[in-house]
Amino acid sequence: MSFEKLGDLYLQLGDPHKALDKYQASLAIAEELSHRAPDSAEYARDLSISYDQLGNLYLQLGDPHKALEIYQASLAIREELRHRAPDSADYASVLSVSLEKLGDLYLQLGDPPKSLDKYQASLAIREELRHRAPDSADYARDLVVSYYKIMSFQDNQGNQKEQNKYAKLCKDALLYMKNRGMYMDEPLVQLLNQL
């Protein structure tokens, strides 16, 4: 059993500190493999995943500043992977997730400008992915999430004009999904009904 899976198991058993030990051991291996084969996209991807898991755990343990440091390391790797393979939809998609996570974290840390910057960067990637694969329900859903996050952000900032703009974009994206017969889970259906 890998250190990563042991970390997952300790999390499920309610022992985040033991999980942290296992995730750190997994990260050390991923760093070593990436160091030995710096051109390996697979090792770089695995390293970014290890960073992400560790960042998630630091958030759970109440250390958002350490999570931020870890997420930024993951982001740097994912940006490099996207740079190496700009046509890879998978690399673009995981990069958009990293940017969104950082947007959430910056908001939690009280830095709205950085939060909005990350949300908008994530949105740009998701618009590109939906454009490339218009029949992908996953990309369409991710786009809805980006519009919704920016809509909520603008609402919380008291910027009604921008909030309305993103509410319309969000509703249009939901209608796009509905009209194409794409799967919409209950939260998406409820969101469409609210908008």
Domain with 22 in it: what CATH number? 1.25.40.10
Per the CB < 8 A criterion, the answer to whether 10 and 1 are in contact is no
Return the pLDDT at 92. Answer: 97
Q: Is the pLDDT of residue 66 over 90?
A: yes
Distance of CA 97 to the CA centre of its chain: 2
151, part of any domain: no
44, part of any domain: yes
Per the CB < 8 A criterion, the answer to whether 180 and 135 are in contact is yes
The residue whose two tokens read 């560790």 is 54
191, part of any domain: no
Tens-digit pLDDT profile for residues 67-123: 999 999 999 999 999 999 999 999 999 999 999 999 999 999 999 999 999 999 999
Q: Which of 2-11, 124-133, 172-181 has the lowest mean pLDDT?
A: 2-11
Summary mean pLDDT of the chain: 94
Dist. CA 158–CA 126, nearest whole Å: 25
Number of other CB atoms surrounding residue 142 within 10 Å: 23
167, part of any domain: no
Domain housing 15 = 1-86
Secondary structure class of 164 (helix, strand, coil): helix
Tens-digit pLDDT profile for residues 1-19: 588 888 888 888 888 888 8
pTM as predicted: 0.90
Q: Which of 26-30, 83-87, 118-122, 161-165 has the lowest mean pLDDT?
A: 26-30
When divided into structural domains, the chain yields a total of 1
